[in-house]
Structures are given as C-alpha cells and as structure tokens.
Structure 1
C-alpha cells in the first residue's frame, strides 16, 4: 500500500526588478520560500525603489517516503534549495506573467522539469527550519537500497557469423558485400 505524502504549505516569494533588456520591462525571480504560509495571490510584501517582492502563491511541498534518495541529493548540495517551477501565463499583457506550478525538495524532479525547457526554474535556498524538517523526514523514512549486480544470461553471443548483421533481421545476402555496378564483368 502506498503511503500518502507529507504535505507542507510553502509560500513562494517572487521579486520583480526593472529589466536591463529594452524589450522586456521587468525581470522576475523566485527569491524565497515561506514554510507554513497562508494562501496568497500576488500579495505585495515589500517595495524597495523599483523592486517589488510578492507573495505570489502558496503551493504544497509534498514529501514522499519513496523519494528520500532525491532529498538526500538536495540536502548534500552546497546550499540546500527548493526548486520552484513557474510557467508563463497565457496573457502576455498580464500584470503578473507567471503562475507557480510546483515547489519541490527533490533534486531529481526538478531536473525532470529542466529537461523540458518549457518552464522557468529557480532554486531558492531553504530556510534552516525547512532543512531540519527535510532532514528529519529523510532520517525517519530512508531505506538504503542494496545494490544487486545484474547477472548475464547464458546465451552464447560468440556464435554470430561475421558479415551477416543482426540475426533477427532477415537478409538475402551478405550485408557487407560490394554493390553491383551494372556493368558486365
């Protein structure tokens, strides 16, 4: 039976700063997480000159007991971080151009999103309390997997005939023969 994940609400703080690119007015970056935060929808937290920090959203941080190896990879990083996955909204003229899809403590899950290239990804340093929470979770649920070396089957692979190619593909003749030129010999 699969155990349910441990879930913790995690507020995502996004900073908007003026862009140095003349075609894009603002740069958006995830800069912090707020463990245990209430729901929010782009609530302004702080303004410093033209820079504004928003509590953009609160998403669940789900910890699965089967993913402890990935959490160990996260904790062993120089700076343990939460991966924040954002996607551009459909409306290019929206006041807040990103929606928060996910926050993850799994280095492997974060890497999977990086492979797609569709989303904006940010690594946000974990607060000390969240590092301790994740470490306690891993200690409670991690089970070392014993490495089992795969054994080869007893099929003989040295019986192949050179020049015949793959035995599973039917061939009428030698695959390495010289092509005919069409001239009589």
Structure 2
C-alpha cells in the first residue's frame, strides 16, 4: 500500500539546529509527493514529504501483532535527519514492532511512531486474521549432563583453603 508521510518542520530550540523535524501523520493510499505544503501555522509547516510502500509479509505477523497490541498502534516512520538546511530523507515506514526497534538500535536514523489511522489499522488487522498462526510456547528441556561434578574456579590451586575465595599466594617477588 502506498503510504504518504507527513513531516512537520518547527523552529529549532537550540542555536545549532535551525529546524526540528518530526513525523506526525500518514496518508494511506497517497499519490506521489514532492514536499507539498499541507498546512502552515506561523513558522510551523506540515509537508507531504514522501510516499513510500508499506509492505506486509506473512513471516512477520508476530511483529505486526505486537505492534497492534501496543497501547496506541503505530506506524514507525524512518528517516535520515536533516543536515544543515537540507530536508530530511524519508526511507521507509513499517508496522513491525521488531523492525522499528532494529532501526532505533543504529542510532543514526530518526524513528518516529505515528498513530495508525482507523482504515490502516483495519487493513493490518485483516492481514493478521488471514495469515497469523500463533506459535505455541515450548519449554526447552535441560540437558541431563551433570555439570556440578567438577570444581572449576576455586581460587589459586597453590593455596590450601576450604572456601571458594580468590587469593593471590603470599611471598615471592613483590610481596609486602
């Protein structure tokens, strides 16, 4: 599904950043965009910045279910931050909670959650009903191998001791 991305430009709050950019809305089924101005209030401007494809895969249904189970189901909009006077570049949008987390881990990209419109929420929910089969939890069985028969890490073997204390031997070079 083509998904229009709306970015909001506000005046920056520091002297190092003239503008602050944030994803604020998505437009399901939108046509092509080239930074079309949608709304202006003073210096704050909303742009239809880009239209990106939103793809759903049968193998990722668990991640979609996780995203829908969140307090506010969201679309994660991923974009490169603006450098200087340049505008940010929208890379993708996803409804996968796991992919959004992976994108956040890099620290180089901006990932903004945008609440899902009702129509998009229904589309994702229909996809889940058609393709999601929850996997039952299977507890892993422990190995029967006994690991407690050998004592490793019992301190310095040159020191006779009954407790599990790590001590250095006394005497010799550098002793006080």
TM superposition score category, shorter chain reference: 0.7 to 0.9
What residue in structure 2 maps to residue 64 of structure 1?
Answer: 57
Worse-superposed segment, 80-89 or 136-145: 80-89
Q: Output the TM-score relative to the length of structure 2.
A: 0.85
1:92–1:76 distance in 2 versus 1, CA, 3 Å: same
Cα deviations by residue, 1:2-27 (Å, 9 ceiling, x for unpaired): xxxxxx11110001112232332211
Show structure 2 runs of 5+ residues with no match. Answer: 159-165
Is 1:40–2:33 an aligned residue pair? Answer: yes
Q: Distance in 2 between matches of 1:42 and 1:181?
A: 77
Q: How many residues are matched?
A: 167
SS at match of 1:38: coil
Is 1:178–2:164 an aligned residue pair? Answer: no
Which of 134, 139, 158 is equivalent to 1:144? Answer: 134
Structure 1 residue 52, shift from structure 2 partner: 1.2
SS at match of 1:136: helix
Which of 94, 101, 113 is equivalent to 2:91? Answer: 101
SS at match of 1:83: strand
Q: Output the TM-score relative to the length of structure 1.
A: 0.81
Structure 1 residue 50, shift from structure 2 partner: 1.6
What residue in structure 2 maps to residue 157 of structure 1?
Answer: 147
What residue in structure 2 maps to residue 3 of structure 1?
Answer: none
| Structure 1 stretches of 4+ moved >6 Å | none
Cα deviations by residue, 1:85-108 (Å, 9 ceiling, x for unpaired): 11135x5332x1x11111010111
Q: Distance in 1 between matches of 2:95 and 2:152?
A: 52
Show structure 1 runs of 5+ residues with no match. Answer: 1-7, 166-172
